[in-house]
Amino acid sequence: MPFDLDSVRARLPGRRIDWYQSIGSTMTLAAQLAREGCESGTVVGADEQTAGIGRQGHRWHSVADAGLYVSIVLRLPIGANDLPVAMLALGLAGQKAIAEAAGMAADLRWPNDVLIGGKKCAGILAQLEGGAILAGIGINVNQAAFPEEIAELATSLRLESGRVISREDLLVELLRAVDEFSANLAEQGPGAILRRFERASSYAAGRRVRVEADGATIEGTTCGLDGSGFLRVREDNGKERTILAGGVRPA
Ligand code: BTN
């Protein structure tokens, strides 16, 4: 179904939303708008991405009309050191949007994978550009199947619920939730987001994980986040490691 941008604009008056039928990556255009000084909250979205960017150099599967593919330019009064916490805030926003628009309870896997039934239904990128944070959010909404190479790991809201979910409702809820969690971060500081993330994520503490980081594999049990938003993992020898980046998987 074609995306009904008018219905989104009617519910979010005054919001700049640039929508494309097909685009390489929404990140590229959002970066350009950020450099040109666009307003905070500006959205670039597309029905299809031909070169969707995922974390760690992966492609983001972005077939036409099935998913939600958006980049949001955010100008928040926070320092560059708070980017990891901003990323966690975006995960919380994705989780809340899915609950509000689809009535589904998603889990969060540090730093920013959104999971249902243990499979990934949304992913988030956050990078600095033009003095702003570029939040790239991809949600698998109505895909009926995935390519073989990711089928074991990926799912969609439709596959999990058996219903077609409105991408328009999801975008409205996502932008509201991003506004809410951005305001939380700006007004209450990182601690408020860290506490919420620890409550919202089954991966934050007490979970056996394997982490691929810096060419090494670490296995252990998660034991919360540090004050910067990094994941703490206790190895079986009792040594505690702080994970700055990398892929976390159940062990
Ligand atoms: C991940 O790998 O988990 C992050 C995926 C982020 C995908 C979104 S889709 C909208 C935006 N444009 C992109 O090219 N990537 C992000």
Q: Is 69 in the pocket of ligand 1 (CB under 6 A)?
A: yes
- Among candidate residues 164, 179, 199, the one where a domain is terminated: 199
What pLDDT, on the 0 to 100 scale, is given for residue 214? 75
What pLDDT, on the 0 to 100 scale, is given for residue 68? 98
Domains held by the chain: number: 2
**CB neighbours of residue 160 within 10 Å:** 18
Separation of CA 237 and ligand 1 centre (Å): 36
Q: Name the amino acid, one letter, at 62.
A: S
Peptide bond into 190 cis (omega under 30): no
Together in a domain, 122 and 135: yes
Together in a domain, 168 and 234: no
Together in a domain, 21 and 145: yes
Q: Is 108 in the pocket of ligand 1 (CB under 6 A)?
A: no
Q: Per residue in 55-64, pLDDT tens?
A: 988 999 999 9
Together in a domain, 72 and 183: yes
Q: Is 26 in the pocket of ligand 1 (CB under 6 A)?
A: yes
Q: Is 91 in the pocket of ligand 1 (CB under 6 A)?
A: no
Together in a domain, 140 and 208: no
Q: Name the amino acid, one letter, at 122.
A: A
Together in a domain, 208 and 190: no
What pLDDT, on the 0 to 100 scale, is given for residue 238? 93
Together in a domain, 139 and 233: no
Together in a domain, 139 and 216: no
User: What DSSP state is assigned to residue 155?
Assistant: -
In tens digits, what is the pLDDT along the chain, a chain of 251 residues? 789 999 999 999 999 999 999 999 999 999 999 999 999 999 999 999 999 999 988 999 999 999 999 999 999 998 888 999 999 999 999 999 999 999 999 999 999 899 999 999 999 999 999 899 999 999 999 999 999 999 999 999 999 999 999 999 999 999 999 999 999 999 999 999 999 999 999 999 999 999 987 788 999 999 999 999 999 999 999 999 999 988 899 99
Specify the pTM. 0.96
* CATH at residue 218: 2.30.30.100
CA-closest residue to ligand 1 atom 15: 53
* CATH at residue 105: 3.30.930.10
Q: Is 94 in the pocket of ligand 1 (CB under 6 A)?
A: no
Together in a domain, 35 and 60: yes
Instruction: Return the ligand 1 atom nearest residue 113 CA.
Output: 3
Domain that holds residue 175: 5-199
Together in a domain, 67 and 137: yes
Together in a domain, 25 and 130: yes
Together in a domain, 211 and 183: no
Can you list the pairs that 183-192 forms with residues at least 24 positions away whose Cβ atoms lie under 8 Å?
184/89, 185/76, 185/78, 185/82, 185/85, 185/86, 185/89, 186/76, 186/77, 186/78, 190/82, 190/85, 190/227, 190/228, 190/229, 191/227
